[in-house]
Structure formats: structure tokens, C-alpha cells
Structure 1
Amino acid sequence: MEVKTRAIVLQTIKYGDAQLIVDFFTEKLGRVSFMVKIPKSSKAKMKRQLFQPLMILNLEFDHRPKANLQRLKDVFIALPFVDLPFSPYKLAMSMFLAELLGQATRNEQVNVPLFSFIEESVAWLDQAQGNYANFHIVFMVRLTFFLGFSPNLESGAHGDFFDLEEGRFVSFVPTHVHYLNKEDSLRMLGLLRLSYETMHLYTMSRLDRNRCVEVILQYYRIHVPGFPELKSFSVLQELFA
């Protein structure tokens, strides 16, 4: 079956001297992996630069449902980036979020609202001229709403402790260890109310920001089976002093 779809690059692995294994989240089929041959000619259409983290592409391929790796027939950029590949801060964010998405959407089938959210978020980051230091945190929180384990915001009026297992605020200390103290719970409540447009109003130090990411990653590890430690987080921790 011939498929034409928009797709977001999540992970690229070098395979031999002239091939790549590329994992995409596609608009029409969800997660799909490809074996991509990169010709040596500088005039070739398939270039390594196309398959950088969070690149948004148009793909054309003959979909074989039983094949683990598909083969591309054609590819071209769907959303040309203006700033993201050239900003060290945005590039580090994109690497982190691509790794996060790669793990969180491993078994994701077609989910057009999720695809649209990712695409619109990446476009916002690319165009942002400033005030985006909290972008990855807001993205991580909002992503949970599309993956089915979003925190219960309404419960924030009824409790001082955030139960990471239940995904809600409670008025008592849970009997297990997966909960946030009052200070972290209050910060979580504030994060749940942020948008990309308002997040710059929430002032945090680098230490506070990293603590927020650690807490949210812990939440993901509880709710996404097999969710690992993210290697790119160490790079992100050094940004936005």
C-alpha cells in the first residue's frame, strides 16, 4: 500500500557506512521505522541532515505491514526550520524531547491529535525568539494528556501531596514512596497550569528547573512500562543557568 504522510524524526542509528535506521512518528500510521540508504553523491536527495531529531518531513513509501523496516521512496522537508538547528539551547532541547518521545511512544498507533501537538510544539520552539527556558517542562506535562496518564488538575484544590502513582493530589502522605512533598507538589500544580505563552512568567533557577524535569521523568517511569533513564538529560542539565 502506497502511503504519503507527514512524519517526525525521533531517532537515527547509523547502520554500516551508508545506511541509517530511522524511527519516525507518522501522522497516518503512528510509529514506523525505516532503513534509509544514504548515497555518497552530494546531489542525492537522501541526505543525513534530513534525519536530525524532530525534523518534520513528508514521506512517501510502499508500506509493508509485516516488515520491521520500511523503505523510503521519497522524502522532503515539510517544515523548514528557521532557528532550531542553529541554536545550541534549542538543539539540546530537541535531542532530549526526541529521546523522550522515542521511549514514550514506542507502541503508539495512529494518534492524529498527538502528532498535531508535537508538530505545533516543535514549530513554536523553532520560531521562539526568547522566553523558552521552560519549554521542555511544559511539553512533557502536556504530552501526558495525549498519552493517557495526565495528572488530575482538579484534585489540586483538595490536597497538599501529589501522588505520582495515582496522578492526583491527596490530603495525606501516601503509604508508598512515590509522592511529592508539599513544596514539589505546589510547584507541580503551578506547572500544570502553564502554556507556552505563559511559561516565562514562572521564574525558576536552573536547579529548580532540573528538579522539575527529574520529577516529571519519575512520573513517566511509573506510567510508561520500561521507560529508561534518558541519556540526553545530562546535556540539558547544564543549560539556562
Structure 2
Amino acid sequence: MIRKTSGIVLSSIRYKDTSIIVKIFTRELGLKSYLVNGVRTMGKGSKMALYQPLTLLDLVVYDKENAGLNRISEAKLRQAHQRIPFEFSRTSIALFITEVISRSIYENYQNEGLFDFLQESVVFLDQQDTKLSVFPLVFLIENAAFLGFSPEDAGGFIAESKNQPFSQAELPVTISYLRVLQSEKYRSQVKIPIALRRKLLDHLLDFYAEHLDNPSLFKSLTVIRQLME
């Protein structure tokens, strides 16, 4: 069956000489894997740019039930990025986001609310005035709600975790920052001290690991921590 859908590219791997297998989180069909032939070619005909992390696409796809790999009939840019592919900091955050999502959802998982949030996140990440130093924190806080394990209030991110890395002096300050980030979201310009910002990032990732039962380290974490200076 041929279906139309919008999609967000998460990752791709090489397949044979010129092809790739790409994972795309689609709004209507959920997380899907597609075999795309002939894209790893040199010259103007190459379409590899369409399959970079967090690329927003309009798709026409062949959707066969129980198929491990489907194929794409047509792929067009939904919105071209102006900064994400060209600025190291934004590219790194994009990779971090795709790693978090890839660990959080499974094949065929569909969640239109999560898709819309991710699409909104991509748009903000590409905007010049978005404060990148707190972007990963906002993403983790907001994303937890769409995955179904966000606490009722900011303090819950601390109280509902097995790990308690904050000192008694840091606790009220940290919860206050969490409230600001929850309220202002990606528009936030709050200035959080570097040491506390890093500790909060590590804590939120521990919080995710507890709920997703996936304790392994994030490959992109080292770079993200450096970007939060």
C-alpha cells in the first residue's frame, strides 16, 4: 500500500556499495526502516542530504504490514535547515536528540504528539536566537512527558530518581531552574552555572535510564557536556 506521511530522519547505515538503510520516525506510520538504493553516489544526483539526522521530510512510501524493510517512493524536504548541518554545536545536539529518541522508541511505535514535539524541537534548534546551552535540558524535560514518565512537577525529576547527586544547598536552586525551563521551554534565556548545568544534564539522563531500563552511556554525551560551557 502506498501512503503519504511526514517524517523525521533519525539515523542511517550503509548498505552495500551505494545504498543505505534509514530509520525515519513518521507521523502517521510510526518508526520505520527504509531501504534507499543508489543515494551514496557522487555528483549532483546524490540525495544523501535528505537523510541526515533530524531532516524533516514529506514522504510517499510503500507500507507493507510486517515488512522489516520498506521502500520510499518519493522524499522531499519539508523544511530546509539553515544552521543545523553547518554549525558543529547544532549538529552535535541533533545527534544527541536522535540518540535519545532511538533509545526511547521501537519499530512501528507511533505517537503523533511526540512527532509534533520533535518537529517543533527541530525548528527551534535551527533558529539563531535559541539558547543552545540549555537546549538539551529543555528537550529531556519536555520529551519525558510525551514518553509517559514525566513527573507531576519539577521537583519530581529529583524526588522520583534513585540518584541524588545534588547537595542540600543545590536542591532548591536546581528545582527552581527546572521550573523555569518547564515554563519557558525553548524560548528560555536562563543562565545556569556551568557545573550545575552539567550535573543536571547527567541527572536527567540517569532519570531516563531508570525509566527506559537502558543504563548504557550515550555516545554523544561527551560532546554535549562540552557544548554546555
What TM-score, normalized to structure 1? 0.84
Distance (Å, rounded) in 1 between the aligned partners of 2:11 and 2:228: 25
2:111 maps to 1:124: no
Aligned 1:1-16 pairs, distance under 5 A: 1-16=1-16
Contact 2:32 2:108 in 1 (8 A): no
Aligned mates of 2:92, 2:219 — CA distance in 1: 12
The answer (yes or no) to whether the contact 1:164–1:222 under 8 Å persists in 2 is no
Is the contact made by 1:58 and 1:77 (CA closer than 8 Å) also made in structure 2? yes
Conserved? CA contact 1:133–1:200, under 8 Å = no
Q: CA deviation at 1:193?
A: 3.5
Unaligned runs of 5+ in 2: none
For 1:196, the equivalent position in structure 2 comes to 185
Deviation of the 1:225 alpha carbon: 3.0
Matched, 1:235 2:209: no
RMSD of equivalent CA atoms:
2.3
The list of structure 1 runs, each at least 4 consecutive aligned residues, that deviate by more than 6 angstroms after superposition, is none
SS of the residue corresponding to residue 84 of structure 1 reads: coil
Q: What amino acid maps onto 1:122 in structure 2?
A: V
Q: Which ranges in structure 1 are unaligned for 5 or more consecutive residues?
A: 166-176
Name 1:174's counterpart in structure 2.
none
Which amino acid counterpart does residue 163 of structure 1 have in structure 2? A
> What's the counterpart of residue 70 of structure 1?
70
Q: Deviations over 1:103-144 (max 9, x none)?
A: 112256221111111101110110133533101110111000
2-structure distance, mates of 1:107, 1:216: 24
How far, CA to CA, are the matches of 1:163 and 1:19 in structure 2?
47
CA distance in 2, matches of 1:197, 1:143: 12
- Give CA deviations for 1:62-88 in whole Å, capped at 9, x if unaligned: 101111111111111101111111111
Of 207, 210, 213, which aligns to 1:219? 207
Q: C-alpha displacement at 1:185, in angstroms?
A: 6.3
Q: Residue 31 of structure 1 aligns to a residue in which SS?
A: strand
| Secondary structure of the structure 2 residue equivalent to 1:238 | helix
The separation in 2 between residues aligned to 1:203 and 1:60, in whole angstroms, is 44
Instruction: Specify the SS of the correspondent of 1:65.
Output: coil
Q: After the TM superposition, which residues 90-101 of structure 1 pair with which residues of structure 2 at under 5 Å, given as runs?
A: 90-101=90-101
* 8 Å contact from structure 2 (residues 96, 224) kept in 1: yes
Deviation at 1:18, TM superposition (A): 1.0
Q: How far off its partner does 1:198 sit? A: 4.7
TM-score (norm 2): 0.88
Between the aligned residues of both structures, percent identity stands at 29
**Structure 1 counterpart of 2:102:** 102
What is residue 168 of structure 1 aligned with on the other side?
A: none
Report the CA distance between 1:227 and its aligned residue: 5.4
